[in-house]
A and B are shown apart, each in its own frame.
Chain A
Amino acid sequence: MSEAVSALNHAEFDGLAHVREIGLQGMITLRGDLKTKAIKNAATKATGLSMPAMNCVETNEANGLCWMSPDELLVMCAYDEVGSTLAKMQKTLGKTHALAVNVSDARAVFQVSGPFAREVMAKLCPVDFSPEAFQPGLFRRSRMAQVPAAFWMCDEQTFQIICFRSVADYVFELLKAAAQHHSEVDYY
Protein backbone atom coordinates (compact mmCIF):
# COMPACT_ATOMS: atom_id res chain seq x y z
CA MET A 1 0.00 0.00 0.00
CA SER A 2 1.26 3.46 -0.87
CA GLU A 3 2.12 5.93 1.85
CA ALA A 4 -0.36 8.79 2.16
CA VAL A 5 1.26 12.22 2.07
CA SER A 6 -0.43 15.58 2.52
CA ALA A 7 -0.32 18.21 -0.22
CA LEU A 8 2.76 20.06 1.02
CA ASN A 9 4.05 17.47 3.47
CA HIS A 10 4.24 19.72 6.57
CA ALA A 11 5.66 22.80 4.84
CA GLU A 12 6.35 25.64 7.27
CA PHE A 13 7.07 29.34 7.16
CA ASP A 14 8.09 31.70 9.92
CA GLY A 15 7.34 35.37 9.54
CA LEU A 16 4.84 37.78 10.97
CA ALA A 17 2.98 34.64 11.96
CA HIS A 18 3.90 30.99 11.90
CA VAL A 19 2.34 29.20 8.92
CA ARG A 20 2.35 25.46 8.59
CA GLU A 21 0.57 22.77 6.71
CA ILE A 22 -0.61 20.44 9.43
CA GLY A 23 -0.34 17.26 7.39
CA LEU A 24 -2.94 14.57 7.04
CA GLN A 25 -6.34 15.30 8.52
CA GLY A 26 -9.32 13.01 8.30
CA MET A 27 -12.35 14.77 6.80
CA ILE A 28 -15.79 13.45 5.99
CA THR A 29 -18.43 15.43 4.17
CA LEU A 30 -21.93 14.75 5.43
CA ARG A 31 -24.75 16.09 3.30
CA GLY A 32 -28.45 15.90 3.89
CA ASP A 33 -31.17 17.70 5.78
CA LEU A 34 -29.37 18.65 8.99
CA LYS A 35 -32.65 18.69 10.87
CA THR A 36 -33.07 14.95 10.36
CA LYS A 37 -32.47 12.99 13.56
CA ALA A 38 -30.45 10.21 11.92
CA ILE A 39 -28.11 12.73 10.31
CA LYS A 40 -27.62 14.62 13.56
CA ASN A 41 -26.98 11.33 15.36
CA ALA A 42 -24.53 10.13 12.71
CA ALA A 43 -22.43 13.26 13.17
CA THR A 44 -22.61 13.56 16.94
CA LYS A 45 -22.22 9.88 17.84
CA ALA A 46 -19.21 9.40 15.55
CA THR A 47 -17.38 12.37 17.07
CA GLY A 48 -18.67 12.64 20.63
CA LEU A 49 -19.52 16.27 19.93
CA SER A 50 -22.75 18.20 19.96
CA MET A 51 -24.31 19.54 16.78
CA PRO A 52 -22.66 22.86 15.78
CA ALA A 53 -24.87 25.93 15.50
CA MET A 54 -25.07 27.85 12.23
CA ASN A 55 -21.65 29.28 11.26
CA CYS A 56 -20.03 27.49 14.18
CA VAL A 57 -17.63 24.65 14.85
CA GLU A 58 -17.48 22.13 17.68
CA THR A 59 -14.15 20.53 18.53
CA ASN A 60 -12.47 18.30 21.07
CA GLU A 61 -8.90 16.93 21.06
CA ALA A 62 -9.54 14.34 18.42
CA ASN A 63 -12.55 15.40 16.40
CA GLY A 64 -14.42 18.33 14.96
CA LEU A 65 -17.83 19.16 13.52
CA CYS A 66 -18.08 22.14 11.17
CA TRP A 67 -21.29 23.74 9.95
CA MET A 68 -20.75 24.19 6.20
CA SER A 69 -24.23 25.10 4.95
CA PRO A 70 -27.86 24.31 5.81
CA ASP A 71 -27.38 20.87 4.24
CA GLU A 72 -23.72 20.12 4.83
CA LEU A 73 -21.46 19.25 7.75
CA LEU A 74 -17.76 18.57 7.78
CA VAL A 75 -16.74 15.84 10.18
CA MET A 76 -13.09 15.87 11.22
CA CYS A 77 -11.24 13.00 12.81
CA ALA A 78 -7.77 11.45 12.79
CA TYR A 79 -6.66 10.51 9.28
CA ASP A 80 -6.32 6.80 10.03
CA GLU A 81 -9.71 6.66 11.73
CA VAL A 82 -11.72 7.88 8.76
CA GLY A 83 -12.64 4.35 7.73
CA SER A 84 -14.06 3.35 11.11
CA THR A 85 -15.75 6.74 11.67
CA LEU A 86 -17.36 6.57 8.26
CA ALA A 87 -18.58 3.03 8.92
CA LYS A 88 -20.09 4.17 12.22
CA MET A 89 -21.83 7.05 10.48
CA GLN A 90 -23.17 4.87 7.67
CA LYS A 91 -24.60 2.50 10.25
CA THR A 92 -26.40 5.31 12.08
CA LEU A 93 -27.63 6.80 8.81
CA GLY A 94 -29.14 3.53 7.67
CA LYS A 95 -31.49 4.25 4.83
CA THR A 96 -31.79 7.99 5.54
CA HIS A 97 -31.40 10.09 2.42
CA ALA A 98 -27.89 11.40 3.03
CA LEU A 99 -24.34 11.33 1.72
CA ALA A 100 -21.20 10.68 3.74
CA VAL A 101 -17.93 10.67 1.85
CA ASN A 102 -14.26 10.60 2.78
CA VAL A 103 -12.74 13.82 1.40
CA SER A 104 -9.50 13.78 3.42
CA ASP A 105 -7.25 13.53 0.37
CA ALA A 106 -9.13 16.25 -1.51
CA ARG A 107 -8.22 18.96 1.00
CA ALA A 108 -5.26 20.62 2.65
CA VAL A 109 -5.20 22.12 6.13
CA PHE A 110 -3.04 25.03 7.28
CA GLN A 111 -2.46 26.62 10.62
CA VAL A 112 -1.58 30.29 11.07
CA SER A 113 -0.52 31.19 14.58
CA GLY A 114 0.99 34.05 16.51
CA PRO A 115 0.01 37.49 17.76
CA PHE A 116 -0.39 38.72 14.16
CA ALA A 117 -2.44 35.78 12.91
CA ARG A 118 -5.56 37.95 12.63
CA GLU A 119 -3.71 40.45 10.45
CA VAL A 120 -2.31 37.80 8.15
CA MET A 121 -5.82 36.42 7.62
CA ALA A 122 -7.36 39.86 7.21
CA LYS A 123 -5.02 40.61 4.30
CA LEU A 124 -6.47 37.69 2.36
CA CYS A 125 -10.17 37.34 3.23
CA PRO A 126 -13.16 39.70 3.02
CA VAL A 127 -13.96 39.02 6.67
CA ASP A 128 -14.08 41.14 9.80
CA PHE A 129 -11.34 39.59 11.94
CA SER A 130 -11.61 41.97 14.85
CA PRO A 131 -11.68 40.09 18.18
CA GLU A 132 -15.26 41.28 18.74
CA ALA A 133 -16.46 39.85 15.43
CA PHE A 134 -14.42 36.66 14.96
CA GLN A 135 -13.70 34.38 17.88
CA PRO A 136 -12.86 30.77 18.59
CA GLY A 137 -15.98 28.69 18.04
CA LEU A 138 -17.04 30.46 14.87
CA PHE A 139 -16.64 28.76 11.53
CA ARG A 140 -16.47 30.74 8.34
CA ARG A 141 -16.55 29.78 4.68
CA SER A 142 -15.20 32.50 2.48
CA ARG A 143 -12.41 33.07 0.01
CA MET A 144 -8.68 33.66 0.28
CA ALA A 145 -7.69 35.86 -2.64
CA GLN A 146 -8.92 33.80 -5.61
CA VAL A 147 -9.88 30.49 -4.00
CA PRO A 148 -12.53 29.20 -1.58
CA ALA A 149 -11.41 28.52 1.96
CA ALA A 150 -12.96 27.72 5.32
CA PHE A 151 -11.47 28.59 8.66
CA TRP A 152 -11.95 28.82 12.39
CA MET A 153 -9.86 29.71 15.41
CA CYS A 154 -8.49 27.03 17.74
CA ASP A 155 -7.56 29.72 20.26
CA GLU A 156 -7.13 33.51 20.39
CA GLN A 157 -4.00 33.40 18.20
CA THR A 158 -4.43 30.36 16.01
CA PHE A 159 -6.37 29.88 12.79
CA GLN A 160 -7.01 26.58 11.12
CA ILE A 161 -7.69 26.83 7.37
CA ILE A 162 -9.12 24.24 5.01
CA CYS A 163 -8.72 24.60 1.26
CA PHE A 164 -8.79 22.30 -1.73
CA ARG A 165 -5.68 20.21 -2.14
CA SER A 166 -5.25 21.38 -5.73
CA VAL A 167 -4.71 24.96 -4.51
CA ALA A 168 -2.64 24.11 -1.42
CA ASP A 169 0.53 25.53 -2.98
CA TYR A 170 -1.27 28.73 -3.97
CA VAL A 171 -2.71 29.18 -0.47
CA PHE A 172 0.68 28.54 1.13
CA GLU A 173 2.28 31.18 -1.12
CA LEU A 174 -0.52 33.60 -0.24
CA LEU A 175 -0.04 33.03 3.47
CA LYS A 176 3.72 33.41 3.14
CA ALA A 177 3.32 36.73 1.33
CA ALA A 178 0.77 37.97 3.88
CA ALA A 179 3.05 36.89 6.72
CA GLN A 180 6.23 38.51 5.42
CA HIS A 181 8.48 39.98 8.08
CA HIS A 182 7.91 43.68 8.83
CA SER A 183 4.55 43.71 7.01
CA GLU A 184 2.41 44.28 10.09
CA VAL A 185 -0.43 46.77 9.74
CA ASP A 186 -1.10 47.02 13.48
CA TYR A 187 -4.81 47.19 12.87
CA TYR A 188 -6.04 44.74 15.47
Chain B
Amino acid sequence: MIRINCPVCGSRDENEFTYGGDANVVRPAMDEAETGPWLDYVFMRDNPRGPHREYWHHVMGCRQWLMLERDTLTHEIGDCILARGVA
Protein backbone atom coordinates (compact mmCIF):
# COMPACT_ATOMS: atom_id res chain seq x y z
CA MET B 1 0.00 0.00 0.00
CA ILE B 2 1.36 3.38 -1.00
CA ARG B 3 0.89 6.29 1.39
CA ILE B 4 1.02 9.76 -0.14
CA ASN B 5 1.95 12.76 1.93
CA CYS B 6 -0.58 15.29 0.67
CA PRO B 7 0.71 18.81 1.42
CA VAL B 8 -2.83 19.83 2.41
CA CYS B 9 -4.23 16.80 4.26
CA GLY B 10 -1.18 14.93 5.48
CA SER B 11 -0.39 11.26 4.96
CA ARG B 12 -3.24 9.49 3.17
CA ASP B 13 -3.88 6.10 1.62
CA GLU B 14 -3.20 5.72 -2.07
CA ASN B 15 -6.80 4.72 -2.80
CA GLU B 16 -7.97 8.26 -2.05
CA PHE B 17 -5.85 9.39 -5.02
CA THR B 18 -5.84 8.82 -8.72
CA TYR B 19 -2.82 8.84 -10.99
CA GLY B 20 -2.69 11.86 -13.24
CA GLY B 21 0.14 11.17 -15.62
CA ASP B 22 3.84 11.71 -16.21
CA ALA B 23 4.97 15.09 -14.84
CA ASN B 24 8.08 15.24 -17.01
CA VAL B 25 6.32 15.94 -20.29
CA VAL B 26 6.30 19.54 -21.39
CA ARG B 27 3.80 20.76 -23.94
CA PRO B 28 5.37 22.30 -27.05
CA ALA B 29 4.66 25.97 -27.76
CA MET B 30 1.18 26.37 -29.25
CA ASP B 31 2.65 27.75 -32.50
CA GLU B 32 4.89 24.71 -32.92
CA ALA B 33 4.24 23.52 -36.48
CA GLU B 34 6.51 20.48 -36.61
CA THR B 35 4.77 17.17 -35.93
CA GLY B 36 7.80 15.67 -34.14
CA PRO B 37 7.52 17.59 -30.85
CA TRP B 38 3.75 16.99 -30.74
CA LEU B 39 4.22 13.28 -31.38
CA ASP B 40 6.68 13.13 -28.50
CA TYR B 41 4.37 15.14 -26.26
CA VAL B 42 1.30 13.04 -26.89
CA PHE B 43 2.70 9.54 -27.23
CA MET B 44 6.31 9.12 -26.17
CA ARG B 45 6.94 8.29 -22.52
CA ASP B 46 9.99 7.06 -20.68
CA ASN B 47 9.48 3.97 -18.59
CA PRO B 48 12.12 4.42 -15.92
CA ARG B 49 13.11 1.86 -13.33
CA GLY B 50 13.58 4.13 -10.34
CA PRO B 51 12.50 7.68 -9.46
CA HIS B 52 9.68 9.08 -11.57
CA ARG B 53 8.00 12.48 -11.37
CA GLU B 54 4.24 12.21 -11.70
CA TYR B 55 0.94 13.98 -11.14
CA TRP B 56 -1.63 12.64 -8.72
CA HIS B 57 -5.07 13.95 -7.91
CA HIS B 58 -6.39 13.76 -4.35
CA VAL B 59 -9.77 13.05 -5.83
CA MET B 60 -11.42 11.60 -2.72
CA GLY B 61 -9.88 14.13 -0.37
CA CYS B 62 -9.04 17.80 -0.79
CA ARG B 63 -9.27 17.47 -4.59
CA GLN B 64 -5.92 19.19 -5.17
CA TRP B 65 -3.54 18.23 -7.96
CA LEU B 66 -0.18 17.12 -6.63
CA MET B 67 3.22 16.49 -8.08
CA LEU B 68 5.38 13.89 -6.43
CA GLU B 69 8.31 11.62 -7.02
CA ARG B 70 7.61 7.89 -6.87
CA ASP B 71 10.21 5.19 -7.16
CA THR B 72 8.77 2.72 -9.68
CA LEU B 73 10.90 -0.03 -8.21
CA THR B 74 10.15 0.37 -4.51
CA HIS B 75 7.02 2.57 -4.57
CA GLU B 76 8.81 4.89 -2.20
CA ILE B 77 7.19 8.33 -2.34
CA GLY B 78 9.52 11.32 -2.26
CA ASP B 79 8.69 15.02 -2.17
CA CYS B 80 5.04 15.84 -2.74
CA ILE B 81 3.99 19.38 -3.64
CA LEU B 82 0.91 21.10 -5.07
CA ALA B 83 1.01 20.93 -8.85
CA ARG B 84 -0.29 24.48 -9.07
CA GLY B 85 2.48 26.64 -10.47
CA VAL B 86 4.56 23.64 -11.57
CA ALA B 87 2.63 22.77 -14.71
Contacts and interface: CB of A to CB of B under 8 A. Distances in A.
Interface of B: 8-10, 12-13, 15-16, 59-64
A142 B64 contact: no
Contact of A70 (B12, B59, B64): B64
A148 B60 contact: yes
Interface in A1-55: 54-55
A183 interface: no
A169 B11 CA distance: 30
A142 B16 contact: yes
Given A126-B16, A127-B13, A143-B15, 13 more contacts: A55-B9, A68-B62, A69-B61, A69-B64, A70-B8, A70-B62, A70-B64, A72-B63, A126-B13, A141-B62, A142-B16, A143-B16, A148-B60
A69 B16 contact: no
Nearest to A55: B9
A55 B9 CA distance: 7
Chain A's interface size range is 10 to 19
Nearest to A69: B62
User: Chain B contact residues: over half helix, strand or loop, or mixed?
Assistant: loop
A128 to B, nearest CB: 10
A69 B15 CA distance: 18
18 contacts: A55-B9, A55-B10, A68-B62, A69-B8, A69-B64, A70-B62, A126-B12, A126-B15, A126-B16, A127-B13, A141-B61, A141-B62, A142-B12, A142-B16, A143-B15, A143-B16, A143-B60, A148-B60
B84 to A, nearest CB: 10
Contacts of A54: 8
A132 to B, nearest CB: 15
Nearest to B1: A126
A141 B60 contact: yes
Contacts of B9: 55
A142 B60 contact: yes
